A and B are shown apart, each in its own frame.
Chain A
Amino acid sequence: EDQVTQSPEALRLQEGESSSLNCSYTVSGLRGLFWYRQDPGKGPEFLFTLYSAGEEKEKERLKATLTKKESFLHITAPKPEDSATYLCAVESGGSYIPTFGRGTSLIVHP
């Protein structure tokens, strides 16, 4: 059974204070790892897909990296508008059903 664990559950940062969110996973044959951002009362917004260890992707202040056991979402010089819940999900083997972690709630104070 695929498992996804995200840490920390909640993170408070000051504007400009860089940090990282962690997503640890256990799967039988990773097909893809996904990062999403979710604002309150809205559906998740797709950020990145990573397929193999060593892969990295960037978008504005966000950078996602992947190893064989975990993924990190690095946030550089965050702004208050980066405040949201960040969800990680994995898809494995022959299954097209993603397994989601519980998310990290990020609050960036001005």
Chain B
Amino acid sequence: GAVVSQHPSRVICKSGTSVKIECRSLDFQATTMFWYRQFPKQSLMLMATSNEGSKATYEQGVEKDKFLINHASLTLSTLTVTSAHPEDSSFYICSARPILGGGGYTFGSGTRLTVV
């Protein structure tokens, strides 16, 4: 089955620093990947749609300059949280679906970001 690898699984960083999260589709190609944020005991909040070879599409209220998304290849998308602050602490999850074939979206295992 389709596998999405997300790294790191946990990261602690100091306020003001930047953190990069990687999302890789291991056995399929994806022109589109999605980045979500999830608060405790709440559902997934879509942050942005990552498009291979073009700019990401951000949801309303999500700061483009703070959450930088790069989708450089058909198997890799990255989310960089720039100048992180404690309020950015959250669980970040990516997802993707194979270009060919139907079925559901495959999610990464998530990244727990803690900004201290």
Task: List the interface of chain A (C-beta within 8 A of B).
Answer: 32, 34, 36, 41-49, 87, 89, 96-98, 100-103, 105
Contacts and interface: CB of A to CB of B under 8 A. Distances in A.
B110 A41 contact: yes
A36 to B, nearest CB: 7
A49 B102 contact: yes
A36 B97 CA distance: 14
A34 B104 CA distance: 6
Contacts of B41: 105
B6 A41 contact: no
A34 B93 CA distance: 17
B69 to A, nearest CB: 15
Interface size class of B (residues with CB under 8 A): 20 to 34
A34 B112 CA distance: 25
Nearest to A44: B107
Contacts, number: 50
A102 B103 contact: no
Given A32-B102, A43-B107, A44-B107, A100 B44 contact: yes
A41 B91 CA distance: 8
B49 A97 contact: yes
25 contacts: A32-B102, A34-B105, A36-B107, A41-B91, A41-B110, A42-B109, A42-B110, A43-B4, A43-B6, A43-B107, A43-B110, A44-B93, A45-B107, A46-B105, A46-B107, A47-B104, A49-B102, A87-B43, A96-B97, A97-B34, A97-B46, A98-B105, A100-B44, A102-B42, A102-B43
A102 B39 CA distance: 11
B1 to A, nearest CB: 8
B106 interface: yes
Q: Which of A87, A89, A98 has the most CB of B within 10 A?
A: A98
Interface in B71-116: 91, 93, 95, 97, 102-110, 112
Nearest to A101: B43
Contact of A103 (B43, B93, B102): B43
B32 interface: yes
Contact of B106 (A32, A46, A48, A87): A46
